[in-house]
Structure 1
């Protein structure tokens, strides 16, 4: 499911050293759920978008922006690759690929900001002694979001640098003088060798 996930375990009892969890409460950007020990989950969507806290609305907007930017970055990246037949000349492909790298970096920054904002709110509420409402811990979705944002930023940077190196490399030009036939080369060699044959002007008393 999309969004972040935070969870809290309650109603914990022990029997002979074995921990038995009877219910797990977890929430993300879109709903809150309760999972019992049998694996059955009951979820409830947030009733109103306008009634949500400001940080949840901000995280929603950033995550939606990150997904949209990542989609467009993937499209521009495919067009800008040299192995594809669309996109025009090599210079045009290099510009499109550089734009795709920048879009990937921006998408990763949006996702990283959203994860960090949500995690900051959860940790501040958890360590606040005056906060009496239900407290949550960081879930797996936050760590997956941080890892994905980091990979997106690193990939965009590598993409931009690789395209910049290819565009800055100078191309060597080779002059084509045309094919030289074998007969013409033999004629040149034959003309260059001095003629050592005897003269063809013979005297009247010459004998063969």
Structure 2
């Protein structure tokens, strides 16, 4: 029962992290910058992995999609690939978790379900690592440009999407490790049961083959052996 409760907690962590990770991909504010003039003229510049926009004080936004994938900066292409990989890994991890958890009726034997659950945990750990790498790489680019005195273009700050991505990564990695470490007890218990059954069967078979016989040949052999050793 305790192992099942641990799997449920890990499943809640990983699914919550996967939802946060998936919501990070289309979120607008990966980086944001405000230009304040007078009270009337205030503009907010923001960008994500797909477009760059500006919003004025009236709330009207003008956006421009990135024209070509090949013309993008390298870090944006890497972040796109990592985030898409994270979403896919989280999806397959959720499917494997539903199959391998003890509270479900599918997946086969206990050993098979344990292996499936461990594989699900590895998927969620990789999901968290991919999202964490993407958000950290994007944040590093923002901070390096912000603190560079020679960078004269528009400077940005960290957006809300990065913090959401970091939180989702932490939940996925934590839940994935809980999935993996919750199975050590099940594997050790299975090995102990196998060893006990094997030892019991070996002892029973040995007793069967070594059972003494009460026939005349056995008695004769015993008497001859006794007579032989009597002169020693």
TM-score, structure 2 length as denominator? 0.68
What is the alpha-carbon distance in structure 2 between the residues aligned to residue 34 and residue 121 of structure 1? Answer: 20
Give the alignment of 1:23-102 within 5 angstroms: 23-102=43-122
TM-superposed deviation, 1:171: 5.5
Query: Among residues 94, 108, 121, which one is paired with 2:128 in the alignment?
Result: 108
**Does the 8 A contact of 1:69 with 1:104 survive in 2?**
yes
Structure 1: gaps (5+ residues): 15-19, 174-208
What is the alpha-carbon distance in structure 1 between the residues aligned to residue 30 and residue 92 of structure 2? Answer: 26
Aligned residues: 168
2:204 is aligned to none
Structure 2: gaps (5+ residues): 1-24, 197-232
TM-superposed deviation, 1:35: 1.2
TM-superposed deviation, 1:21: 6.4
2:26 is aligned to 2
Structure 2 residue 137 is the aligned partner of structure 1 residue 117? yes
Structure showing greater relative contact order (alpha-carbon pairs closer than 8 Å, 6 or more residues apart): 2
Structure of greater Rg: 1
Q: Taking structure 1 as reference, are residues 21 and 6 closer, same or farther at Cα in structure 2, changes over 3 Å only?
A: farther
TM-superposed deviation, 1:82: 1.0
Greater helix fraction, Structure 1 or Structure 2: 2
**Does the 8 A contact of 1:9 with 1:21 survive in 2?**
no
2:181 is aligned to 161
* Cα deviation 1:109-156 (Å, max 9, x = unaligned): 011011110000010001101111111100110011011001100000
2:37 is aligned to 12
TM-score, structure 1 length as denominator? 0.76
**Does the 8 A contact of 1:94 with 1:164 survive in 2?**
no
Greater strand fraction, Structure 1 or Structure 2: 1
